[in-house]
Chains A and B, each alone.
Chain A
């Protein structure tokens, strides 16, 4: 059994004392920052990213990064339940019934249900990643420049489809991201492009600086708009253990949520958010206690939380096998890989099997750590919620500055943080989602390189993209997605979904 061998390699990598340690630190740090209200998983990872670069070994560093991701997600659910303030749109659904449960004095049970659901979903989807990643890698190895180009188009188009608000704006954000991504020296001719004569930008804009600016700084500014007291509902969480009745009610939603999440998570462009909504809708339809939804239904916490986590996990599949990020977090992971000197793509599985399987195994270990550690530590997380925000952001700003500077000791990266902070803030004020911009930024250079290579191979004939079957199929998918989101019926439904979320 090759699968078992691979998993064994993964577990032996992930369970080495150092890697376990980094996974633990990652999970703890992720939860710590993720639990701070208003700071979502993406911002958390962007802020903590530079710390992971201080670890020399890419395997440990990516394992820690993955740990931060799960931790941040868990932290987001905690704030959603306890203070009705979801850090990330994917836990917005959890807030609906989770907060109501907390109001009814069942905060402990809600948190435990979220943790158990997430763990179950994490276990199943880790296994799915292990099963589906290798065959996809084999397909991806057949890909030429034209196929890669088309595949990235699919990724970018899907990220547009799943972004909030206006589709045209999201498209413009992708294009702007692509343009910002190709700032720097042209790889074919060595010509500096769009650097305004600043030689420090010859290697391109620093990815970490862009991510910290657009997600971290912009988010701080948004939080500073209205500083109001947060009312922490629960000072002390008791009654963690769900009752037998709770277990009976949450079993089916967890299984359904896991299935929905695993399927939707693979979609490029942020399937986890969609998964949480889809699961909530399904549970509301099939539940016998329909009246309880919105008033603290256990199913309304268990289903979406499982779906959310399963989706978060399976979104690693396109990232690990194809090097295509499914959401901004995966874009951050890819950026981290590139900085560590690993070329993301189908070759990772064959060239770096320990890294590839180590990350997969560490997903499960990370989830296990979350459930073992976080339930007892919940009191600590609740205390953190009471830290006033004005104390937090000087700390965040200082650490971001140190972190960004430490990546390549380039002070111009720090100026870029400020620039992208303003840009990110202005764009969010203008109702533009920053996620497509970051995806475009990561994919920009790759997209251009593959386009140029494909055109050279075809001797300048653009029909190469439609005469090669895989490439044609991918472009057809991209076109279909674009047509679907512009259909009036879908457009209306899409707006409804996002309105409900806000």
Chain B
């Protein structure tokens, strides 16, 4: 065992918590802190942010002591296709309208798996769009525009 091995998992974890703590602390300092009697909007978050940084430091100290734990496989492809799906839906649901937007959202998410074939993805997305239209737009009557202003009418 090396004397100063920093466990990657815990090291990253500590860094993440400290970064979050620093962000909230910095933002809180820009707000009115107030006194313990009349707390301003910054009082409680500043206190929490300091605690978070301290906990992060404790995790960092522990990371030095323990042996490394492997992080394991990371779903890069999954992240690349799954995460843009809701963002794409958010960007286009008003412009393209509900129906084209949900079709493309499902299509994007389909490619997160290496096993998906293009034709299956198309059929699946089309079926899904039909179902979503029937359930959400038609039956539940959600007030979404089915086709948006970006499309030529």
Answer whether A395 and B84 are a contact pair too, CB < 8 Å, given A172-B17, A431-B69. Answer: no
Task: Assess the B115–A220 pair: CB atoms within 8 A.
Answer: no
Task: Assess the A414–B9 pair: CB atoms within 8 A.
Answer: no
Task: Assess the B86–A401 pair: CB atoms within 8 A.
Answer: yes
Of residues 87 to 137 in B, which have CB atoms within 8 Å of A's CB atoms?
A: 87, 89-91, 93-94, 102, 105-107, 109-110, 112-116, 120-121, 124-125, 128, 132, 136
Task: Assess the A411–B44 pair: CB atoms within 8 A.
Answer: no
Q: Which residues of A contact B140 (CB under 8 A)?
A: 54
Of residues 223 to 261 in A, which have CB atoms within 8 Å of B's CB atoms?
A: 224-227
CA of A220 to CA of B105, assembled, Å: 16
Answer whether A414 and B59 are a contact pair too, CB < 8 Å, given A227-B113, A398-B102. Answer: no
Task: Assess the B142–A191 pair: CB atoms within 8 A.
Answer: no
Q: Which residues of B contact A227 (CB under 8 A)?
A: 113-115
Task: Assess the B48–A179 pair: CB atoms within 8 A.
Answer: yes
Answer whether A222 and B75 are a contact pair too, CB < 8 Å, given A395-B128, A414-B90. Answer: yes
Of residues 170 to 209 in A, which have CB atoms within 8 Å of B's CB atoms?
A: 171-172, 175-176, 178-179, 182, 186, 188-189, 191, 193-194
Task: Assess the A394–B125 pair: CB atoms within 8 A.
Answer: yes
Q: Which residues of A contact B82 (CB under 8 A)?
A: 217, 220-221, 224, 393, 397, 421
B62, CB-defined interface residue at 8 Å: yes
B6, CB-defined interface residue at 8 Å: no
CA of A397 to CA of B125, assembled, Å: 11
Task: Assess the A175–B39 pair: CB atoms within 8 A.
Answer: no
B1, CB-defined interface residue at 8 Å: no
Residue of B nearest to A405 (CB): B93
Of residues 315 to 341 in A, which have CB atoms within 8 Å of B's CB atoms?
A: none
Task: Assess the B78–A220 pair: CB atoms within 8 A.
Answer: yes
Q: Which residues of A contact B13 (CB under 8 A)?
A: 169, 427, 430-432
Task: Assess the A388–B55 pair: CB atoms within 8 A.
Answer: no
Q: Which residues of B contact A168 (CB under 8 A)?
A: 55, 58-59, 62
CA of A413 to CA of B87, assembled, Å: 9
Task: Assess the A431–B9 pair: CB atoms within 8 A.
Answer: yes
Answer whether A224 and B59 are a contact pair too, CB < 8 Å, given A394-B110, A418-B86, A431-B69. Answer: no
A455, CB-defined interface residue at 8 Å: yes
Q: Which residues of A contact B72 (CB under 8 A)?
A: 225, 429
Task: Assess the A411–B74 pair: CB atoms within 8 A.
Answer: no
Partner of A390, one of B42, B62, B113: B113
CA of A456 to CA of B38, assembled, Å: 6
Task: Assess the B58–A393 pair: CB atoms within 8 A.
Answer: no
Task: Assess the A193–B84 pair: CB atoms within 8 A.
Answer: no
Task: Assess the B90–A411 pair: CB atoms within 8 A.
Answer: yes
Chain A residues touching B, majority SS: helix
A487, CB-defined interface residue at 8 Å: no
B83, CB-defined interface residue at 8 Å: yes
A481, CB-defined interface residue at 8 Å: no
Residue of A nearest to B121 (CB): A394
A451, CB-defined interface residue at 8 Å: yes
Task: Assess the B116–A390 pair: CB atoms within 8 A.
Answer: yes
A404, CB-defined interface residue at 8 Å: yes
CA of A389 to CA of B49, assembled, Å: 40
CA of A411 to CA of B93, assembled, Å: 8
CA of A397 to CA of B36, assembled, Å: 45
B5, CB-defined interface residue at 8 Å: no
Task: Assess the B37–A455 pair: CB atoms within 8 A.
Answer: yes
Chain A window 420-444, contacts with chain B (Cβ cutoff 8 Å), 1 for yes, 0 for no = 0110011101111000000000000
Q: Which residues of B contact A222 (CB under 8 A)?
A: 75
Task: Assess the A401–B31 pair: CB atoms within 8 A.
Answer: no
Task: Assess the A179–B45 pair: CB atoms within 8 A.
Answer: yes
Task: Assess the A422–B87 pair: CB atoms within 8 A.
Answer: no
Among the interface residues B13, B105, B114, which one has the most CB atoms of the partner chain A within 10 A? B13
Answer whether A178 and B48 are a contact pair too, CB < 8 Å, given A417-B86, A425-B79, A426-B16. Answer: yes
A-B contact sample (13 more), CB < 8 A, given A54-B140, A402-B142: A175-B52, A179-B45, A193-B45, A217-B82, A221-B78, A221-B82, A390-B113, A411-B94, A412-B90, A427-B16, A430-B10, A451-B44, A452-B43
What are 17 of the A-B contact pairs (CB < 8 Å)? A169-B13, A176-B52, A193-B45, A224-B77, A227-B113, A394-B107, A397-B86, A397-B106, A397-B109, A404-B86, A405-B89, A422-B79, A425-B79, A429-B9, A430-B12, A430-B16, A455-B39
Closest 6 CB pairs of A and B: A460-B37, A414-B90, A224-B78, A390-B113, A186-B41, A411-B90
B residues contacting A by CB (< 8 A) are 9-10, 12-13, 16-17, 20, 24, 27-28, 31-32, 35-45, 48-49, 51-52, 55-56, 58-59, 62, 69, 71-75, 77-79, 82-87, 89-91, 93-94, 102, 105-107, 109-110, 112-116, 120-121, 124-125, 128, 132, 136, 140, 142-143
